[in-house]
Each structure stands twice: as structure tokens, then as C-alpha cells.
Amino acid sequence: MVRELIRLEGVHRAFGAVSVLDGINLRIDEGDRIGVVGHNGSGKTTLLRTISDQKQDVGDITFAPGLRIAYLTQIRDIDEYATLEEELNRRGHQFKELEEEIAAIETKMADPSFYEGDWQPVLDRYSELQALSARSGGTDVAGHAKNILNALDLGHHPLDMPLSKLSGGERAKVALARQLVGMGEIDVFFLDEPTNHLDLPTLEWLEKFLAKFQGSQLIVSHDRFFLDRICTHILEIHDGHTRGYAGNYTAYLQQKELFLQTLADRIDKCEKEIKRLTGALQSMKRANKYDKSISQKHQMLSRSQRELKWLKRLKPKERRGLQFNLQSTEKSSLDVLDFKQASLKFEGLNRPILNKVEIGVRRGQKIGIVGANGAGKTTLLRIINKEIQLDDGIIDVRPGVEIGYFHQDHRTLDFDLTPVEQVQKLKPRMDYGDIRAMLGQFQFTKEMVSTPLKKLSGGERARIAMLKLLLEENNMLLLDEPTNHLDTDAKEAL
């Protein structure tokens, strides 16, 4: 019989007046690999956090006894001021309760009165916890992670390298490596946008790792191909409610299309029945014909109206389409910029980031920059944006070039501000009504426009960063991982 690991019954979660999860029922069994999908801000991350922390407002969340959860968060939990070794030795989510229980028992054992009672069961539990800690890597997490570091192509970095010198993709790998330590002892793995920042070889390795992992998985992702290859079930969140589908992402799309078509047919049939019954009752009234069939028809009409109301509640609300209307200022010169013998090397790396690079950018070009994590893609953009100086050579940015930069970590935003305040900071003379209208075009509701960015999802932050580019009216865009965090509709609009 399949073991039940987690059960949610009637779970509600709200933030202020905004209801995010509304009566969620969910069961996670041993071996389930569930993909969680939905538009930006639908509550996917909130669902994972609510289950992990068991902090629902209403309803019940039940864990199997001794359940152990690992959680890779969407906003990577990384200390950029730490070294690689220090970060790997920092305990992941899955070790927290284990360490707390060990510490509590050790405190009891330090009290002489402890041994006056029945202490043997406590010592047995202590031995069990110590054995579990040892199997999970004990205190030598960095040593236990060596194979994972090599698999993630991080093994060539010295362990004393500061994380601040790693690329965004490499830091994402470090966060992943720290969670993967001791995975043999984990029952459920929560992954929130695990493919963000990862290069293709790492993504392929992660897919193989998760396919072999014996525990259950709850995965939030907008990567349909990743979900296709990994998931056995799909859970869609829409308007605070969930609907489950068996199979991978492709099967989900097929089933959803069938569901929506069947729903549309039933609504159409119900509306026609209401029209027929209403017409029949009106005809009987005009003919002054009253018999027992009138009561029956009234009952049938009332039943059909209730059914129509119920069916329409099942129909997903249509969202306003997202449009990125990026307008440039005056055109730049034909020659936009040139690298001439450009060289750069970072301390601690045994290779140059740039080695006598000669390349030019011309007006109208759309240039994709590809390469492995740590190859220097972000560094190249930061050089163009004058955030990093070359060691040798020059970069010649022509007069009249106005640069707009979309950082992969959205660092140009002030996370303490609300979306309205962020726009007002950039355009202080813009009318408040115009700001609200513009934010509405970017799918921000009246509740969201007054919520600090630090409380919004990654996709919502990305939309604000895109809006910032729109308002700046640049004629050259530097886009660093612009599709990270965006849902499918937003990606297509971009």
C-alpha cells in the first residue's frame, strides 16, 4: 500500500485582505512527483511555504510521523559574503529539526536529575538521531558534498572562494548543492523554480538526479519541458483553487483542453435549457394556462440556474493580456559599441573571463549571449554598463547610447517600495491614475500595487523590472536572464 506523506484539508492562506489559497485539498504519497503550475502570483510559492512551515490560516496540514523535507527556495538562500566552504557547511532546511532535537536531548542529559527517571528511551532516540545525522553527512557537509560539487561543475573552485565572485548561475548551483547533501534521508523535496540560472549540462544532470531520487517531489516551474520529463502529476493553481491532473505537463494540457471544452459545452447546454424553460413559462403565462406543469418547470428552471452558476464558477477567470511596449528614445549612431583587445581576469580563477576580445555591436542587432555558468555572460553585460572595469583594452560606447539593464536578480529595484512607489520614484510627475492604469496593464491588482516588492513573487518583480525599462525609454537593452520567474504568457509577450 502506498504511504501517505502529506495531507492538506480545507487549507486557506491570506495576506491581509488578499486570499491566496482558498480551501486547498491535496494528498502527497510516496513516489509522487507533482509539478505545480499557474500564472505569476497565483500562490505556487505560498503553497510550498505554507506546507513546509504548517502555517495555514484555516484547515489542516498533516505530516507522516518523522517526515523529513528539503526545500530549494525560489529566491536562493545564499550568503554572498560567505566562502564556498562556509556556505556548504551552513545547514540546509532538512537538518534544522534534526539538530534542534539533538540539542534539546543534550540539554536534558546535562541535568543530573535526568537520570533519576526512565532515561533509556531518550538515549535510544538520541542514538537514532546521531546515526541519522551521520548518514546525512554529519558535521562534514562540505566533504559530503564533494561529489555533488564536481557533478555541478563547481569542483574547480577553491573552497575559500567568496560566493560574491561566483556568477548568478554558480551561486544557484551552490544553493542546490547545499540542499542535495544528505538527500538519501529525505522523504519530500520541494523545489521552487529549480531550473532558473542553470546551464544546459547542469539542467540535464538535475533531471537525471531527480528521476532517480526515491522520495516525493513538489516542483514549481514554468519550464514545460522540465515538467514533462520529471512529473507524474500536475497541480494547477488558479483563483486560489487547485485542480489536479494525472501525467506530465503535455498530458495536463490535453486534459485541461478537454475539461474546458466539456465545461463550455455544458454551460451552453444549460443556457439553452434556461432559455427554453423561460420561454415555455412565458408562453403559458400569456395563454393564461396554469396547471401542475408550471410548478415542475419552475423547479427545473431553478435547478438549471443553480447548475449554471456552479459551472461558471468552475470556469477560470480570463486575465488581461500582458504587452511589453518598449519604445526607444532617439536612435543611436549606426555603431553602438566596440570591444578592442578587451581582457579581464578575476582573482582566484585560473582562466581569464575575457582574453583580448574584439567585437562590435551595431544598431538594430539582437545578440544572444550563451555559455556555461561562470563563463562570463553577466560580467560582459556589467562591463558594458560600466559596473566593472577591464584589466586591459577598451570598450568604446558611442555618444547617444542610452542603456537599460535588466539584472537577473532585479537589483535595480528597491524591494522596500510598492509597485506604485517604484514608478513614482522613476516618474515623480506622473499622475497616480496613469500609474495605476499602467500597473493594471502589467497584471497588477489593486491589492498588489500597495504591497512591498519584497513580498511579491519572482515573476511579479520581473514584471516591475520590465516596466522600469519601458519607462526609461532606452535605445539599447541589456537583458540578463529576462525569462527567469516569468510564466508562459509573460514569456510569450516578452
Q: What's the pLDDT tens digit per position in 103-146?
A: 888 888 888 787 777 878 888 877 877 765 655 555 555 556 67
Q: How confident is the model at residue 169 (pLDDT cuts 50, 70, 90)?
A: confident
Percent of the chain with pLDDT over 70: 91
Residue 324 lies in a domain: no
CA separation, residue 24 to residues 43, 160, 193, 218, 242 (Å): 11, 45, 21, 15, 6
Q: Which residue has the cell 546521531?
A: 130
CB atoms within 10 A of CB 6: 22
**240 and 150 fall within a common domain:** yes
Domain count, the chain: 3
Q: What's the pLDDT tens digit per position in 171-198?
A: 888 888 877 776 666 889 999 999 888 8
In the three-class reduction of DSSP (H, G, I as helix; E, B as strand; rest coil), residue 53 is classed as helix
Q: What's the pLDDT tens digit per position in 33-58?
A: 999 999 888 889 999 999 988 888 99
Residue 321 lies in a domain: no
Is the CB of residue 453 less than 8 Å from the CB of residue 444? no
**301 and 214 fall within a common domain:** no
- In b/e form, how buried is each residue of 18-39, taking b as 16+ CB within 10 angstroms? ebbbbebebebbeebbbbbbbb
Q: What's the pLDDT tens digit per position in 448-484?
A: 888 888 888 888 888 898 888 888 878 899 999 888 8
Is the CB of residue 420 less than 8 Å from the CB of residue 430? no
Q: How confident is the model at residue 326 (pLDDT cuts 50, 70, 90)?
A: low
C-alpha cell at 258: 478537454
Residue 222 lies in a domain: yes
pLDDT at 151: 80
**446 and 304 fall within a common domain:** no
**168 and 292 fall within a common domain:** no
pLDDT at 13: 92
Q: What's the pLDDT tens digit per position in 374-392?
A: 888 888 999 999 998 999 9
Give the β-pairing of 33-37 and 233-238. Answer: parallel
Q: Is the Cα torsion angle 292, 295, 296, 297 positive or negative in sign?
A: positive
pLDDT at 393: 92
pLDDT at 119: 77
pLDDT at 251: 94
What's the CA gap between 456 and 446, in Å, rounded?
13
Q: 292 pLDDT exceeds 80?
A: no
Q: What does pLDDT average to over the chain? A: 84
CATH code, 26: 3.40.50.300
Residue 169 lies in a domain: yes
**403 and 464 fall within a common domain:** yes
Number of H helices, E strands in the chain: 16, 14
Q: 97 pLDDT exceeds 80?
A: no
- Which residues lie below 8 Å from residue 355, measured CB to CB, with a gap of 6+? 343
Residue 329 lies in a domain: no
Q: 5 pLDDT exceeds 90?
A: yes
C-alpha cell at 31: 513516489
For residues 160 and 7, which has the higher predicted lDDT (pLDDT)? 7
CA geometry: angle at 493 spanning 489 and 494, to 5°?
120
Residue 369 lies in a domain: yes
The domain boundary residue, chosen from 232, 250, 268: 250
CA geometry: angle at 206 spanning 201 and 212, to 5°?
130
**305 and 403 fall within a common domain:** no
Q: 219 pLDDT exceeds 80?
A: yes
pLDDT at 28: 95
Residue 247 — left, alpha, or beta (φ > 0 → left; ψ -120 to 50 → alpha)? Answer: left
CA 113 from chain centre, in angstroms, equals 49
**245 and 263 fall within a common domain:** no
**78 and 201 fall within a common domain:** yes
Q: Which amino acid is at 165?
A: K
Residue 330 lies in a domain: no
Q: What's the pLDDT tens digit per position in 407-416?
A: 888 888 888 9
Looking at residues 294-313, what average pLDDT do you find? 89
Q: How confident is the model at residue 261 (pLDDT cuts 50, 70, 90)?
A: very high
pLDDT at 7: 94
The domain boundary residue, chosen from 233, 250, 267: 250
**163 and 300 fall within a common domain:** no
**256 and 205 fall within a common domain:** no
C-alpha cell at 97: 529539526
Residue 322 lies in a domain: no
C-alpha cell at 205: 544532470
Q: Which amino acid is at 171?
A: R
Looking at residues 24-36, what average pLDDT do you find? 94
**152 and 215 fall within a common domain:** yes
Which burial class, exposed, middle or buried, applies to 282 when counting CB atoms under 10 A from its CB (0-12, 13-18, 19+)? Answer: exposed
pLDDT at 96: 60
Q: Which amino acid is at 298?
A: H
**143 and 38 fall within a common domain:** yes
What's the CA gap between 364 and 152, in Å, rounded?
37
pLDDT at 162: 84
Q: Which residue has the cell 523590472?
A: 465
The domain boundary residue, chosen from 227, 250, 273: 250
The residue segments making up the domain with residue 66 are: 4-250
Q: 280 pLDDT exceeds 60?
A: yes
Is the CB of residue 195 less than 8 Å from the CB of residue 220? no
